[in-house]
Amino acid sequence: MTVRVGVTGATGRMGREVIAAVDDHADCEVVFAVSRSPDGETVDGVEIESADDFDSLLAECEPTAVIDFTGPESAVEYATACAAADVAFVTGTTGFDDDHLEALEDASEEVAVLHAPNFARGVQALLNVVGEAVQNLPGYDVELVETHHNAKRDAPSGTANRLLAEIEANGEFTERTHGREGEQPRETGEIGVHALRAGDITGEHEVLLAGNHEELRLTHRAEDRGVFAAGAVDAAAWIAGQKAGWYDFADVIAE
């Protein structure tokens, strides 16, 4: 079956990569791509259409899934429209607050919705092992450093928040300290969180565990945004035919 993909935020850093990744995938095609200000542009030969026409494009082009890398408000609007049109929704957008997440969960009652803050397979592996590392090293200090390009809006990154949830799950850590300044000695139970923004760095996440005269660094470095786009396209191919519900990239990798 050919997977028919609609793309939002099509002229953004990730939107462009998604169009290219769909093109590279044997069983997928882009059936429409939208931007809020299309300007007659094409991306990889795909004509970019106006986001104002999103509802009618869903009806006319009958996508199997929409892939979204935009901003939290836009993602919620696109997800709500997909829910009304019975189209699965895959989003890699980050920076959601509780209200945004609630709206996405509402959409997931109507259609399949998959949200992943990071579509790199290496990050999924990191998420799987980080809790175990913390559990194996009781009493060790934990610090998290994430590094991204200078245009990233949200901090800490969505991936960092997911890693922090895994670290906090074992109960030893109760407080996040975002950067340090002045007299601020480290306290028991705190995780230091540091967001670096510079140049065009694609995305790095490092969890440092230190104590007992040793240190363990678990680092993931994305070398190219194509890795995220390829994962999102795999998710779109996987989600076609899934029933309504809330899914994660881990569900895609598990199969």
Ligand X SMILES: NC(=O)C1=CN([C@@H]2O[C@H](COP(=O)(O)OP(=O)(O)OC[C@H]3O[C@@H](n4cnc5c(N)ncnc54)[C@H](OP(=O)(O)O)[C@@H]3O)[C@@H](O)[C@H]2O)C=CC1
What is the contact surface with ligand LZUJQKHR in residues (CB under 6 A)? Answer: 94, 117-118, 148, 152, 157-159, 203
148 binds, among ligand X, ligand LZUJQKHR, none (CB under 5 to 8 A by kind): ligand LZUJQKHR
| Catalytic (active-site) positions | 148, 152
How far is the C-alpha of 162 from the C-alpha of 203, rounded, in Å? 15
Token code pair at residue 179: 């950067």
Interface with ligand X, residue 95, by CB under 6 A: yes
Considering the complex, state which of residue 11 and residue 108 has its C-beta at the smaller distance from ligand X.
11
Q: Is 240 annotated as a binding residue?
A: no
How far is the C-alpha of 187 from the C-alpha of 198, rounded, in Å? 29
Q: Is 101 helix (H, G, I), strand (E, B) or coil?
A: helix
Token code pair at residue 98: 């509780």
How far is the C-alpha of 253 from the C-alpha of 134, rounded, in Å? 23
Shortest Å, Cβ 235 to ligand LZUJQKHR: 14
Q: Is 80 annotated as a binding residue?
A: no
C-beta of residue 167 within 8 angstroms of C-beta of residue 144: yes
Q: Is 247 helix (H, G, I), strand (E, B) or coil?
A: strand
Interface with ligand X, residue 116, by CB under 6 A: yes
Angle at 91 between CA 89 and CA 93, to 5 degrees: 150
Q: Is 25 annotated as a binding residue?
A: no
Considering the complex, state which of residue 180 and residue 221 has its C-beta at the smaller distance from ligand LZUJQKHR.
221
Considering the complex, state which of residue 3 and residue 17 has its C-beta at the smaller distance from ligand X.
17
What radius of gyration do the chain's Cα atoms show? 19
How many residues form the binding site for ligand X (CB under 6 A)? 25
Interface with ligand X, residue 47, by CB under 6 A: no
Cis peptide before 156 (omega within 30 of 0): yes
11 binds, among ligand LZUJQKHR, ligand X, none (CB under 5 to 8 A by kind): ligand X
Interface with ligand X, residue 13, by CB under 6 A: yes
Q: Is 13 annotated as a binding residue?
A: yes
Q: Is 203 annotated as a binding residue?
A: no
121 binds, among ligand LZUJQKHR, ligand X, none (CB under 5 to 8 A by kind): none
Contact string (CB under 6 A) for ligand X, positions 17-36, x = contact: ------------------xx
Q: Is 9 annotated as a binding residue?
A: yes
Considering the complex, state which of residue 89 and residue 228 has its C-beta at the smaller distance from ligand X.
228
Q: Is 193 helix (H, G, I), strand (E, B) or coil?
A: strand
Could you tell me how many helices (H) and strands (E) the chain has, helices first?
Answer: 8, 14
Report helix, strand and coil shares of the chain as percent, to nearest 5.
Answer: 35, 25, 35
Contact residues toward ligand X (CB under 6 A) are: 9, 11-15, 35-37, 51, 69-71, 73-74, 92-95, 116-119, 158, 228
